[in-house]
Amino acid sequence: MKLFNLALAVLLLTAATAGAVIVPTFEPSQFITWGSGQVIQTEHNGVIPNVGDWNGDGLKDMLIGTYQSGALYFYPNSGTNANPVFATRSQVYADGSPIAMTYG
């Protein structure tokens, strides 16, 4: 019964908003910084950050993949989820070799 009620609510909400134009509102962009406030920079262009709890400590860490070299770097969070402080990066390895992804 709960599943039916949820499905009905989703159906009604979808019908009520059909044709409505929803324009997203974004906050201004910000640079990602170290705990010191210094902007995190890499020697590569085209970096792709991905935030998540990558080491299982409950804090949102950051992985950055680089477009040019294909290298993958891990930045552990030593702050909190609300106020992350990213520690010095380390390159990600698998079976003793650095992970590198190709493009093209």
Within a domain: 101: yes
Task: Decide if pLDDT at 2 tops 60.
Answer: no
Count of domains for the chain: 1
Give the C-alpha separation, 99 to 32, whole Å: 23
Count the Cβ atoms, other than its own, within 10 Å of residue 77.
Answer: 22
Model confidence over 30-87: pLDDT tens digits? 777 777 777 877 666 677 788 999 999 999 999 988 877 788 889 999 999 998 888 8
Within a domain: 36: yes
Within a domain: 22: no
Q: How confident is the model at residue 10 (pLDDT cuts 50, 70, 90)?
A: low
Instruction: List the domain range (segments joined by +) for residue 74.
Output: 30-104
Give the C-alpha separation, 67 to 100, whole Å: 10
Within a domain: 14: no
Task: State pTM to two decimals.
Answer: 0.61
Q: Is the four-CA dihedral 91, 79, 48, 56 of positive or negative sign?
A: positive
Task: Decide if pLDDT at 6 tops 60.
Answer: no
Model confidence over 85-100: pLDDT tens digits? 888 889 999 999 998 8
Within a domain: 16: no
